[in-house]
Amino acid sequence: SGKKNRTNEVQYYSFEIYEQLSKRVEMERDLRDAIKEKSFSLHYQPQIDLASQKIVGVEALIRWQHHAWGNIPPSEFIPLAEETGLITPITEWVLKTAFHDLQSWVKNGIKPIRMAVNISAILFHEDLVSFLKRILDETNMNPAYVELEITESVMQNPRMTIPILKQLRSLGVRLSIDDFGTGYSSLACLRDLPIDCLKIDRSFIEDIERDQGIIVKTIIDMASHLNVDVIAEGIEKQQQLQFLSTLSCKEGQGYLFSRPLPSKEISTFLFKPLISSPV
């Protein structure tokens, strides 16, 4: 019977691989159609100036409502989009939709705020500059309100990346390093990067209780020496907010203030001038 079990295990195992592969093929096919079938949407999460408690920006986060599988998180389909090259049309859709939404909020009377969009490291080649310029032109978007969130992995090749970052910045957009502290960037290289802001990764905010915030403190100190802004990601607790406010952490983002919300809901949120109580 041991032999039989082994056989069953092998069959089960290969069936799983088959299922994974066929799901991947299916997902890739559906990802290809997702833009024209309108199954993507954007949610927006507010970014708060901690001193004034005002919303100074939002981060656009993509959502994919699959007809059969329901909501698929970006952590599952963005890697596939990167492997297949679909990340380019998807990013174009994200940028255009985000800019359009911001413009419509402003038309409805909201004071302009920053729009932060995530840009995959894989898009970091020469074409990125003309790609972004074309989209800014086509949408008639003021670059002063645009922020690109890039990950530390772009620092793997600083000789290629730095000139691109400089060109992007000369278009007038802001640049921030997402998930800061989780990558393997060299600090020496960070000093030379033309960036505006470090986004302290959520894991360090979570650790504040355990490590007395030593990592967060160090990052904020370093950012101030480098003359770049900081935003803390993933603030969930009042104690974390209080701690960050005692340091000179400029901005924050997290469930304590608001989860990412659809455009309609965020625009009502934006009409409230102050956040009096955490949502």
Residues that bind ligand C2E (CB under 6 A): 45, 61-62, 73-75, 78, 94, 118, 120, 149, 178-179, 202, 234-236, 254-255, 260
Q: Which stretch binds Mg ion (CB under 5 A): 29-37, 119-127, 190-198, 229-237?
A: 229-237
Task: State the nearest-atom distance from the C-beta of 180 to Mg ion, in Å.
Answer: 8
Residues for the chain: how many in total? 279
Determine, following the binding rule CB under 5 A, whether residue 118 of this chain makes contact with Mg ion: yes
Task: State the nearest-atom distance from the C-beta of 11 to ligand C2E, in Å.
Answer: 35
Task: State the nearest-atom distance from the C-beta of 261 to Mg ion, in Å.
Answer: 16
Q: Is residue 175 a contact partner of residue 194, using CB atoms and an 8 Å limit? A: yes
Closest to ligand C2E by CB, 14 or 84: 84
Q: Which does 94 bind (CB under 5 to 8 A by kind): Mg ion, ligand C2E, none?
A: ligand C2E
In this chain, which residue has its C-beta nearest to ligand C2E? 254
Task: State the nearest-atom distance from the C-beta of 46 to ligand C2E, in Å.
Answer: 10
Determine, following the binding rule CB under 5 A, whether residue 178 of this chain makes contact with Mg ion: yes
Beta strand 146-151 with 251-252 is unpaired
Closest to ligand C2E by CB, 19 or 37: 37
Q: Which does 270 bind (CB under 5 to 8 A by kind): Mg ion, ligand C2E, none?
A: none
Site pattern 180..199 for Mg ion (x: CB under 5 A)? --------------------
Closest to ligand C2E by CB, 43 or 169: 43
d(CA 253, CA 5): 51
* Contacts with Mg ion, residue ranges (CB under 5 A): 118, 149, 178-179, 233
